[in-house]
Amino acid sequence: MASTIFTAKDHDPVKERRRRNFVIGLILVALLSGVLAWNFRYWPEERRVDKFFDALERKDYETAYGIWFNDPAWKQHPGKYKQYPFKEFYIDWGPGGEWGLIKNHKVEGAVSPKRGSSGVVVLVTVNERIEKARIWVEKKDKTLTFSPY
């Protein structure tokens, strides 16, 4: 018997339920992905600052300086960093610096000060002080600097 436009397939509730559950699952996965992407959008910058403070805790100031400029081989060309030489860095971040000897830290999060800005400000609790350290991380090259905000 030939099928016509007036002949319909039998209603299959199992197939309908499967299709509905698939669509709901797809929507939930999309929402969860969006929430995770939003919450971890500054994860690379936060991780960079965490590594920087880990090096300071270990009193490995030379590694920390390399992280600051995103140049682990900074000793090969120290003249490249005349605007902030290692001696000044040590004064700022060493035991006599503003934060003292860094014994512990906790990265609290990051914020972008303006839409479309070139970097983010990462907030860090240092030595359990109330005042937070604010480190600017440039997005394009992952260099660190003091936050202008």
Mean of per-residue pLDDT scores for the chain: 89
Residue 137 lies in a domain: yes
The answer as to whether 67 is a domain residue is yes
Got the DSSP string for 7-72?
--PPP-HHHHHHHHHHHHHHHHHHHHHHHHHHHTTTHHHHHHHHHHHHHHHTT-HHHHHHHHTT-T
Number of compact structural domains in the chain: 1
Assess if residue 32 is contained within a domain: no
User: How does pLDDT run across 23-59, given as a tens digit for each residue?
Assistant: 999 999 999 999 988 888 899 999 999 999 999 999 9
HSE-CB of 54 using CA atoms within 13 angstroms: 7
Residue 98 belongs to some domain of the structure: yes
Within-domain flag for 100? yes
14 domain residue, yes or no: no
Any domain includes 66? yes
pLDDT in tens, 75-124: 898 788 899 999 999 999 999 888 989 999 999 998 888 877 788 999 99
Q: Is the pLDDT of residue 69 over 90?
A: yes
pTM: 0.79
Residue 3: pLDDT band with limits 50, 70, 90: low
Q: Give the domain extent around 77.
A: 43-146
Position 58 in a domain: yes
pLDDT, one tens digit per residue, over 17-28 is 898 999 999 999
